[in-house]
Amino acid sequence: MFKKFTNGCVRVVNRWLPDPFLFAVILSIVVFIAGMIATKQGPIPMLSAWGGSKGFWGLLSFSMQMALVLVLGSAMASSKPCKKALRGLAGMAHTNMQAIVITTFVSTICCWLNWGFGLIAGALLAKEVAKRVPSVDYPRRIASAYSGFGIWHAGLSGSIPLQLNGGYTVFAGTAQEATFQALTTQTIFHPMNLIMVGVILVAMPFVNYAMHPTKENTICVDPALLVDETEKEYEVKSPADKMEHSRILWVILVVAGFAYIVYYFYGVVKAGKNIAGALDLNIVNFLFMFLGILLHGDLRRYVDAIGEAASGAAGILLQFPFYAGIMGMMTAANASGVSLASVISDFFVSISNSVTFPMLTFLSAGIVNFFVPSGGGQWAVQGPIVMPAAQAMGIEPGRAAMAIAWGDQWTNMIQPFWALPALGVAKLSAKDIMGYLVIVTLFVGVVACLGFLAWAAFFG
């Protein structure tokens, strides 16, 4: 019964789920029409809002930050020390259960630390485990590695809580302008968020193992897929080669980078602030960049690792301008101050209360994620709707924002956009793992719904 269900899910995904970029185009058209209807404006004002500096090009800084999260995390995961550590962890697996549990547990922790790092590290770990326990179903193993991505937005590289930590402004330059802020102690490190992450971290490895197919239906890995790529060798002949591989330049750069990191957090402590509350996308990216440079041990190797990882950011670079254009159209107000975002916000307020609003936001965010599979892009689309509505209902900004964050990461399990880097490492296609991830999606959904109800009951 389970195999029929998962196979049906795979067929639907393969037949009906187009490239995420097409969703961005379709959603742009839908919002363009809906914006004219809701605000009674003509096509020219809406077109201007779409292509202007506050529209299409309004997220350039944020786009770069998100691209760097993926690229820097991926480059660090490809370093020799990280690969060696993953091989050591893989050596702990001797049975099918240990293989699935270790892969899921470690990949989940890695994604919580940095989602770009976790995506690649999880796939690399799954391949190393496959060498030691070849009897485990290979697609199931890769699905287990990717399932750790289900908590990334609740972790240290979550774009929504980190941006909210520094202050988030909606409707900038208009009469509706408002700024919202919540420290990471109210989002990432909030007790309820940590409890939800903890439940998934402990339980999901066993949920994954429970779905392992029977021996007759197990797909064993092709040994050819497990052959390690040949480590690139460098010839140092010319003066330019010597400079590229200079240990002196590497040491100077590493020392300078970590000196600034120490200085940054020293300044936070000296000012009497919470270290966790000082995290934002810039310092997280800075930290992972210099960790990557340190672990690669060579500037030329790091440059090449960045080049290999950069291809994974293509979707961000192409799609974010369209998400920014969507945000521009949603916030384009008429002479009376009515915008599409405000209309939708008022609707949410009318059908919910302070207890159910975050849960309904979570569910709606899960749906929106199918169309906007980027957490940063989704924040650009939903943030201007949810945050003013939450304020009107007296809901603290941190809880409202985390509802969007959890909804985004929830349906990533059955939205193959972010699985592509891991699938590239594993040499599989989305259809090989998506069926298994349907059950993971249901599990995470139950945990999150109950979690947000408990958040309201005990912390609201």
pLDDT at position 429? 67
CA proximity to 320, closest of 189, 241, 417: 417
Q: Rounded distance, CA 202 to CA 213, Å?
A: 21
pLDDT for 227 equals 60
Query: How does the average pLDDT of the chain come out, rounded?
Result: 84
CB 362 within 8 A of CB 406: yes
Q: Where is average pLDDT lowest: 22-31, 228-237, 438-447?
A: 228-237
Sign of the alpha-carbon dihedral angle for 368, 316, 107, 188: negative
Residue 360 has pLDDT above 80, yes or no: yes
pLDDT value at 7 more than 70: no
Average pLDDT, integer, range 211-216:
70
In a domain, 415, yes or no: yes
Which residue reads 């409707």 in tokens?
171
Whether pLDDT at 10 is above 60: no
Is it the case that residue 460 has pLDDT exceeding 70?
A: no
State how many domains the chain has.
1
Phi-psi region of 227 (alpha: psi -120 to 50; beta: other; left: phi over 0): beta
Residue found by looking up tokens 């003013």 in the block: 388
Average pLDDT over residues 97-120: 90
Per-residue pLDDT at 291 exceeds 80: yes
**pLDDT per residue over 173-189, tens digit each?**
666 678 898 988 999 99
Determine the Cα–Cα distance for residues 42 and 34; give it in Å rounded to an integer.
11
CA distances from 107 to 25, 147, 203, 335 (A): 32, 8, 14, 50
pLDDT recorded at residue 112: 93
pLDDT at 106: 94
pLDDT at res. 251:
96
Of all helices (H) and strands (E), which one includes residue 111? helix 96-113
How does residue 5 score in pLDDT terms, banded at 50, 70 and 90? low
* DSSP per-residue codes, 268-336: HHHTT--TGGG--HHHHHHHHHHHHHHHH-SHHHHHHHHHHHHGGGHHHHHHHHHHHHHHHHHT---TT
How many other β-carbons are positioned within 10 Å of the β-carbon of residue 8? 12
Nearest Cα to Cα of residue 120 among 98, 89, 142: 142
pLDDT for residue 434: 73
Q: Classify residue 232: in a domain, yes or no.
A: no
Quote the pLDDT of residue 371: 65
* pLDDT tens sequence across 265-285: 999 888 877 777 777 788 889
Which pLDDT belongs to residue 224? 58
Establish if 112 belongs to a structural domain: yes
- Whether the CB-CB separation of 19 and 416 falls below 8 Å is answered with no
Distance between start and end Cα atoms, the chain: 41
- For residue 149, count CB atoms less than 10 angstroms from its CB and return exposed for 0-12, middle for 13-18, buried for 19 or more: buried
In this prediction, residue 320 has a pLDDT band, given cuts at 50, 70 and 90, of confident
Count the neighbouring beta carbons within 10 Å of the beta carbon of residue 253: 16
More confident: 415 or 294: 294
> Is 31 contained in some domain?
no
Angle between helices 247-270 and 299-310 (to 10 degrees): 70
Distance CA(191)–CA(175), nearest Å, equals: 36
Closest by Cα among 319, 355, 354 to 27 = 319
With contact defined as beta carbons under 8 Å apart, do 100 and 142 qualify? no
Residues spanned by the domain of 315: 43-218+279-459
Maximum distance among all alpha carbons in the chain?
71
Q: Residues 121-175: pLDDT tens digits?
A: 888 888 888 888 888 888 878 888 889 998 989 998 888 998 888 788 876 666 6
Contact, 433 vs 423, CB < 8 A?
A: yes
pLDDT of residue 284: 85
Per residue, the 3-state secondary structure of 158-214, as one string, reads CHHHHHHHCCEEECCCCCCCEEECCCHHHCCCCHHHHHHHHHHHHHHHHHHHHCCCC
Is residue 5 within 8 Å of 438, Cβ to Cβ? yes
- Helix/strand/coil for 352: coil
Q: Say what angle helices 2-16 and 434-459 make with each other, to 10 degrees.
A: 100
Backbone angles phi, psi at 355, to 5 degrees: -85, -45
- Give 70's pLDDT tier (boundaries 50, 70, 90): confident
Per-residue pLDDT at 421: 64
pLDDT(304) > 90: yes
The whole-angstrom distance between residue 243's C-alpha and the CA centroid of its chain comes to 36
pLDDT at 432 (0 to 100): 73
Dihedral, 65, 427, 234, 69 alpha carbons, nearest 10: 10
pLDDT tens column, 215-247: 666 666 665 555 666 677 788 888 888 898 899
The Cα–Cα gap between 333 and 342 comes to: 9
Give the pLDDT of residue 331. 76
Question: What value does the mean pLDDT take over residues 24-53?
Answer: 90
C-alpha to C-alpha distance for 401 and 56, rounded to whole angstroms: 23
